[in-house]
A and B are shown apart, each in its own frame.
Chain A
Amino acid sequence: MKMFDLLSKYDIPVVEFAIAKSPEEAQRMADSIGYPIAMKIASSQPIHKTELGGVRLNIPPDAVQQTFTDLLRSAVSAGIEFEGVLVQQMAKPGIEMIVGIKQDPAFGPVILLGAGGIYAEMLHDVSIRVCPIKRDDAYEMVSELKSAAIFKARGKHYDVDSLVEMLMKVNSIALSKELKELDLNPVVVHSLEQGGGCEVVDVRIVE
């Protein structure tokens, strides 16, 4: 799908996934990725998947085909053009962030970092910059979040460097002006104790 192609073009790490067009294909893909698995409605349209019941987590092998059918049904009843089901590895635990861009009417491309996940809008803990940003700006964005302290909490050190790396890549997407809006949400940041790195779990684009 286009949005995942875009991420790979900019070398942005994504949790391993595949797009299934049928229950049988979903089963094969899930078997090869490994369990437990996450399944979601795949759509190029900007939709709030969770609200539509379009996200199922921790699915065991014997429930894959039934989940495919359920997701197809929710997509149809919500009137979404069905493009398949995203079969994805469950993300390793970490801190959920949102990284996004938008084209602002007055300032042009803008980049955002915030506390992410399904509560992103309610938490409203964000840092915004007009692009382009430099590496120092990206670090400053991380440190000015209200929740910045959780990157070094409970004896763990989360991989801020890899998050900054991702911000710099997203900065390049913003400047290319290919998109009107982009949400990478959640981006899961892993602790250095667990090998570090950060990965995109889900993407939404507005062209």
Chain B
Amino acid sequence: MGYNLKELFEPKSIAVIGASKDPTKIGHVILKNLVEGGFSGQVYPVNPSADVILYQHAFASVLDIPSEVDLAIIVTPQPVVLKVLEECGKKRIKNAVIITSGFAEVGNTEVEEQIKEIAKRYGIGVIGPNCMGFINTYTRVDSVFNPVYKLGRPKAGEIAFISQSGAVGAAVMDLAAKMGVGISLFVSYGNAAVINETDLLQYLSDDPRTSVIAVYLEGVRDGRKFLDVARKVTKKKPVILIKAGKTQAGSKAAASHTASLAGDYAVYSSAFKQAGILEVESLTDLFDYSKIFLQPFPNGNRTGIITNGGGIGVLTSDFVIRNGLQMAELDIETKKTLRDSMPMHVNIGNPLDLAGDADAARFKVAIDAMMQDKNVDIIILTPLMQTISLDSSIIDLIIRESQKMIKPIAVVTIGGTYTEQNRTLLENGGVPTYTSPYVATGALSKLAWYAKRYQKD
């Protein structure tokens, strides 16, 4: 490949080619997001017919910019993209994001080939065309053209997200921001004329800020290369993926049973499995599964459940089994400790139902006991926040226990506004929370599978 993606994603100076004074234009919003969004480097608006945009001196061409430029964000009309890319080459700009659409995605492959040719000739690493570019939450480089008041930006974190679709990617970023999920890097790579999903996977596997890689994929061109790279990447970091376009293919009658049974999507799904990629079914699962991988890796799949509501404990244990985890058999010492410190109406077992009058202190005893029990690999807490005795002090307790990073802890909360507020506090404290025991156990099951497969600690 030969491109330096680290420089691409961490530029110190950026030219916005096609910057505009008109607040309804993409070229305006991108410039505004860079200037007002906390990017600390130089920003150069480029527009042949403007002097000043958003208090920044504008240049007619990148060739007029007196200093070096690390990254060009191109948002010009389609017919001038080749010309400005050529100018970027002459200016020795090594990286570009082409937001502009109207290329291979509408059958205009010829012009896209020319983009590749120019990129190759000058050695420009190109993201796009027909994309949203990227958001680096650490350096605040943001080429997504949705206004910040409409599309929330996620906080900095350890999950990278690469998306073939710009619209889905941006909507998911908005969702991540709302869910309180921290993102290291978001890349919408569009037509992947030069830099594709395989290059991005490779880069993210070495990116120290990224611990988990989430992917939205419609298709890959070179499946074999993707498979080879993904196989290596998943040994270092978990890759969670959602595949769109599962049903369109295989509609034509196949000559053989094999071709009919091994449709395009079936092959993709098998390839993901071979590469150790975890495939999920929905966009919310993408992050609900990704965030569990920020927990410590368990030594096994024996699960302990602590609750203050018997029913939710039983329901959760059903899903533990259904998702391929095991219910832990508590150690005799743990049972003794718990029996000695719990009131008589608390049944000592797993699920451990601390009863409706449980307070945070009782939860603390139970969590500590399970943390120390060598028969318990995973802990699920299902505190029902609606009881009289449970108040927000449970939040601090859970966050503190979680931060010890001894065993994976997931929290399932079910309820209305009060519960949701508390859940958000937990999530902001770095605790993976779920509103469904099914999703929580599904995610934990994948975590246990991955930990076993790659024997990480």
Contacts and interface: CB of A to CB of B under 8 A. Distances in A.
A128 to B, nearest CB: 4
Interface in B142-171: none
B258 to A, nearest CB: 3
Interface stretch (B265-273, B282-290, B342-350): B265-273
Contacts of B262: 100, 102, 104, 110, 112, 126, 128
A129 B264 CA distance: 12
A120 B258 CA distance: 9
> How big is chain B's contact interface, by range?
20 to 34
Nearest to A130: B271
A112 B258 CA distance: 7
Interface stretch (A28-36, A73-81, A179-187): A179-187
A121 B220 contact: no
A147 B349 CA distance: 36
B268 A106 contact: yes
Nearest to B249: A105
Contact of B270 (A114, A130, A183): A130
A152 interface: no
Interface in B223-259: 223-224, 227, 254-259
Contacts of B260: 121
A112 B268 CA distance: 13
Contact of B223 (A104, A120, A127, A181): A104
Interface string A101-137: 1101111101010100000110010111110000001
A129 B256 contact: no
Main secondary structure of the interface of B (DSSP, over half): helix
Contact of B266 (A108, A126, A137): A126
A181 B256 contact: yes
B200 interface: no
Nearest to A118: B257
B255 A46 contact: yes
B264 A104 contact: yes
A130 B266 CA distance: 11
Given A100-B262, A120-B261, A121-B260, A107 B271 contact: yes
B221 A106 contact: yes
B223 A129 contact: no
B310 interface: no
B219 interface: yes
A108 B268 CA distance: 11
B261 A100 contact: yes
A104 B263 CA distance: 9
B341 to A, nearest CB: 45
A98 interface: yes
A206 interface: yes
A106 B258 contact: no
A157 interface: no
A56 interface: no
B109 interface: no
A107 B261 contact: no
A204 interface: yes
A98 B262 CA distance: 12
B274 A181 contact: no
Nearest to A99: B258
A124 B261 contact: yes
A101 B271 contact: no
A106 B262 CA distance: 13
A107 B223 contact: yes
Contacts of A183: 256-258
A107 B227 contact: yes
Given A106-B219, A106-B220, A107-B227, A130 B258 contact: no
Interface string A45-58: 01000000000000
Contact of A129 (B222, B254, B268, B274): B274
B220 A98 contact: no
Nearest to A101: B258
A114 B266 CA distance: 13
Interface string A74-104: 0000000000000000000000001011101
Nearest to A141: B270
Contacts of A112: 258, 261-262
B269 to A, nearest CB: 8
Nearest to B268: A106
Please name the 7 residue pairs, one residue from A and one from B, whose CB atoms are nearest each other, closest first.
A100-B258, A106-B223, A107-B223, A128-B270, A181-B256, A46-B255, A183-B256
27 contacts: A98-B258, A102-B258, A104-B223, A104-B267, A105-B264, A106-B219, A106-B223, A106-B264, A107-B223, A107-B268, A107-B271, A110-B262, A121-B260, A121-B261, A124-B261, A126-B261, A126-B262, A126-B266, A128-B261, A128-B262, A130-B224, A130-B274, A181-B254, A183-B256, A183-B258, A204-B255, A206-B255
